[in-house]
Structure formats: C-alpha cells, structure tokens
Chain A
Amino acid sequence: MAIVELPEGVAITRLDKLVSWCRKNSLWPMPFATACCGIELMATGASRHDIARFGAEVFRFSPRQCDLMIVAGRVAMKMLPVLQRIWQQMHEPKWCISMGACASTGGVFDTYSVVQGIDRFIPVDVYTPGCPPRPEQLIRSILDLQEKIQREGTVAGREFDAPSRQRPKRALQP
C-alpha cells in the first residue's frame, strides 16, 4: 500500500461529509412563530444571544428559501393545515425543530382546539423542551441538529429515505 504525500493545504474527505458540513453551518430558518416561543425565538435572533454565531441567522419568511422550520408555539387546529402547507412548500433537504412544550405535545393546552404535538402530523427532527425554552436551549437544539446533519447527512439525501423517518413519530393511525 503506497503512502501518498499530500501537498500542503489539501485535505481528503468524503463528499457527503463536505456537503453536510456546508449544510449544517448555513441553516436558513423559517420561523413558524405562533405564540410565546416566537418571542424567545426573536430574542435568540436579537442582540444578546445572536444566533448568527452558529450560522443560522438568515431568517427567511418564504418557505421556498429555507431549510429549517422552527415551529415555535402551539398550533391550533385552524393553523395546522397552514403548517402542513408550508412544510410541503419547503425544498429538500429540510429539517424541523419543534420548539417548546406546546409544539411538541400540546403543553398545558390540552383543549379542544390545540393540536397535541405537531409530530403527529409532520416529521420532526429535534424537540426543544421548555415552556418557553430559553434562547440558550434553542441554540443547543440547533447545535444538536448540526451534529445530526453532520453524522448522517448525504449528498443525495438518502438519510431521509430511512423507514424510521417516513412516518411522523406519533401518528395516530398505524
């Protein structure tokens, strides 16, 4: 086995790894901010916490331009079709962070009009606990998502074809 000497400034890696590295450091979030968590999302983007340190400061309000949907706040049943529509409008590869107790499980709002967790109806990648989560916690979730993208990302997006990611996690119907 011959040992090849690399010239200075050249590194070798898999293309998958390189693409994932690019993707994870340039997440463009789509803030689906409905309620209190939305204010903490704004605080995360604003002066003190400054999400730009993690390459995710480019909030775009058009789903066509984004690859990370942050669902911040409870989703009422009138809102869920809108949420699904926006999720469908986003381009692959795309990820979803369910921010806060209400988006993840319904939280304190176990009432007639609040959807008990968006993961019943759309796929979710990272859950952020808290009611509402502190900005530091949201930043932690973004870091976790970055790690996940780096770990399993592929150029062609094969990781999304895995059977475990096909269905929403807690879908009611089998």
Chain B
Amino acid sequence: MPLTAAMPTADLAHDEPRPYLWTMNFGPQHPATHTTIRLVLKLDGERVVDAMPDIGYLHSGFEKLGEHLDYNQYVTVTDRMNYVSPMANNVAWHLAVEKLLGIEVPPRCRYLRVIVCELSRITDHLLCLGAMGLDTGAFTHFIYAFNPREWICDVFEALCGARFTNSYTRVGGLMYDATPKAVAMIRDFLGRIPKPLADMDRLLGRNRIFRDRTEGVGVLTREEAIRRSCSGPVARASGVTRDLRRDDPYLGYEDFDFDVCCATAGDCFARYMVRMAEMRESIKIIRQAVENLPAGPVNVGDDARVILPKKEAVFRTIEGLITHFELVMGNRGFEVPCEEVYCATEAPNGELGFYVVGDGTSRAYRARCRPPSFIHLALFPHLIRGHMLSDVVAVLGSLNVIAAELDR
C-alpha cells in the first residue's frame, strides 16, 4: 500500500455551479497550524467559503498502545498526548484507573495533584496565548509568554526530575513527594507570575491590531457550543457555564475558592480573555493549595497493593523484592475488576476523559481518551465560514488544537 502525498478531496475540488472558487491547501507543515493539521480551504477571492480539515498526520496509535502497556507504564504515553500540559494528562489517566480500581488517594497526594494540574493549566494557556499572539503578528508576546513557562518547567524539574514530559503520577499516588525546596519554588513562582501576566495583558488585551483581528471573528453561539459537544475554555467563552472542577468535583476541588471564568461573546477575543482570566484563577487555587498542603503520606497504604516499594527496599529486603516482583508480573499485579468506567477531568483544553475497560489483568483492555482538541477542531469549518483568509490562523490559535491529542 504505497501512500500518496496528497489525498483527493473530491467534494471540495469539483464544485460545478461555482467554478470561480479556488481551492487552497494549508498545511500539514505550516507554522500557524502549530503542529500537523491540513486544511483544504475553498476561497472566493479572500473570503473562506468552506474549509475541510484533514487530520491524522500525527496518528500514533495511542489507544492501541494502551492495550499493551500496564497501568503505570501507560502514563508515559499520556505525557505525549497533550504535550503542552503533560501533568494534566497524567492526573486524568490515573484518576480513571483509580476509579476503576476503587482507590482513594491520601489528601497530600490530592493537593499536590491539584497544584500540578493548575500549573500545567498555566503552561498550556501561556503557550496557547503566546502562539496566538505569534500568529496574529505579535512576536514579542510569544517571547513574553515563554519566559514564565520556563519557570514552571523549573518547578516541575524540582518536583519530579523532568522538565517537560513528567510522568509524575502513579496508580495510588505520586512518583515522589514534594520536597520543601519544591514547595518553596512554587511559592516563589506564585510571587513572580502576576507581573508577566499583567505585561501580557497590556501587550495584547488593549492592542488595537489584535482586537481588530479577533473581535467578532469565529463566533460560536451557546446553542452551537452544546450541539457540537464543546467543553473547556471554548465552551465557557460562549456562555456555557460548565466547569468540571465545580460541577463534578474531583481531587477535592470543592475545598478551593475559585471562580469559573466565562464570556458571552463567543469570538476569538472572548476565548483569549477566558484563558487569561483562568490563569489568574489557577494562581488563586495554587496559592490555597500550597498554604493548606496537608502533611502525611503521599501514596496509599500497602494493603491496596498498587504502590511499588521504594528502590532501597527492593534492593535490600526480600519482602520489598517480592512485593515489587508481584506487582510487576503480568498476571499477579493489580486486582482489576472486569468493569468499565468513564472518568473526566477539566484539562486546560476542555473535558479530558478516559474510558477504561479492565479485564482482570494488569493491562487495560481498552484505554479510550476523549480528546478535547478533536472535538474543537471539528468546529473549525463552522467557525471560519464567511471570514477572511487571514482569520484562519486567529481561529485556529484560539481553539488551541494540539495535534498529538487530536490524532492520538
């Protein structure tokens, strides 16, 4: 099966009654698609009549891989799913697995997970907004957004040793507890972050060029947002006041005081503003979590039989070695019910859910991911119809489509 570079897009290429329309290929290797999306645009002069996204340029078989890796191994693959906020994916995957296994994690673990989730929300929004500025011609904004992102990478490095693809969570807990130094770094970060956010706001929020390019562009109404299964900032910018952190709390989000940020305009600028406001709310949540961080263990107890023993115990004691061996062995590992659960979290991009089917072995029988980017890119033709060609990048940037999550 030799593959050809270009797929025929029959229904767009031959439009008999309107021969003056012309077809334009956009991507898959184009800077404004951020990663790998191909769009076939049908243009009337400079106005977009129709768009057809062609995806799959990064399809890597994540879900098939999930059926061949065990519950702890698969977390490394979830890192690479939405690679802009890996921690949020780690937490989402292990929450689903813990729901399947019926494990309740200790309070310190919950708080630390909340902290890393919100930190990764900030990284995601920073990158999205920075790239949105870059696409609409504000390169400086991109530089401004990436600097605080590096601070968060430093915090992650102090927490788990990896700056970018973290794999921080484990079934029933975390890989490492947070050291006092890491907590101090988070505190320091909280003190420093408001200034660059204010700078970013001053750069773009009142920038005439940016507002002209985003206001009234790509309008999504509330009814359409619900009909097209939107979630996260995209839905909230259209007036759907749905936030799983408040409506379906997980990880003890009900303990925290925060606002759900919404807008009613539903255009690109509203999505920008919602993301900007969400970062401030995340800072509020992190501050509360750090100040009230409970003491105690970070992993569930030994009787749950999911936590691998510490390496010193494995190397020095026979009990540790046996425990490790049993947990890693394919048929002696976790006791998983033959059941299926759906568990969703409010990831930076929207509702990120995992549908996990257990079959009694230590590997998932099916590890389905409900990707928000996939749903949001399906919106794109609806949003772009009737707009100018230059609005394509603004709409794409405001949807924050991450190709690895889109194609999996």
Contact = CB atoms under 8 A, between A and B. Distances in A.
Q: Do chains A and B touch in the complex (CB under 8 A)?
A: yes
B367 to A, nearest CB: 13
A131 B36 contact: no
B56 A61 contact: no
A47 B144 CA distance: 8
B80 A35 contact: yes
A34 B36 contact: yes
B239 interface: no
B143 interface: yes
A76 interface: yes
A76 B164 contact: no
A54 to B, nearest CB: 18
Contacts of B28: 79, 82
A79 B83 CA distance: 19
Contacts of A85: 5
A112 B149 contact: no
Interface residues of B, number: 38
Contacts of B404: 35-36
Contacts of A108: 65, 76-77, 80
B164 A47 contact: no
B56 A76 contact: yes
A157 interface: no
Contact of B35 (A34, A112, A131, A132): A34
Interface in B114-148: 127, 142-144, 146-147
A155 B264 CA distance: 61
Given A34-B403, A86-B29, A111-B65, A46 B127 contact: no
B99 interface: no
A35 B403 contact: yes
A86 B83 CA distance: 25
B84 interface: yes
Contacts of B228: none
A134 to B, nearest CB: 7
Nearest to B86: A36
Contact of A76 (B57, B65, B80): B57
Interface in A74-124: 74, 76-82, 85-86, 108-109, 111-114
A32 B84 CA distance: 17
Contacts of B144: 47
A46 B150 CA distance: 10
Given A36-B404, A86-B29, A109 B57 contact: no
B164 A32 contact: no
A46 B146 contact: yes
Contacts of A61: 29-31
A72 B165 CA distance: 15
B407 interface: yes
A109 B68 CA distance: 11
B64 interface: yes
Given A35-B35, A82-B28, A113 B60 contact: yes
A132 to B, nearest CB: 6
A36 B149 CA distance: 15
Interface in B43-81: 56-61, 64-65, 76-77, 79-80
A48 B163 CA distance: 14
A68 interface: no
25 contacts: A35-B58, A35-B404, A36-B165, A39-B127, A43-B146, A46-B146, A46-B147, A47-B150, A48-B147, A48-B150, A61-B30, A74-B58, A76-B59, A78-B59, A82-B57, A85-B5, A86-B29, A108-B76, A108-B80, A109-B61, A112-B61, A112-B64, A113-B61, A132-B164, A134-B163
Given A36-B165, A78-B57, 7 more contacts: A32-B29, A77-B3, A79-B36, A81-B4, A82-B5, A108-B65, A109-B60
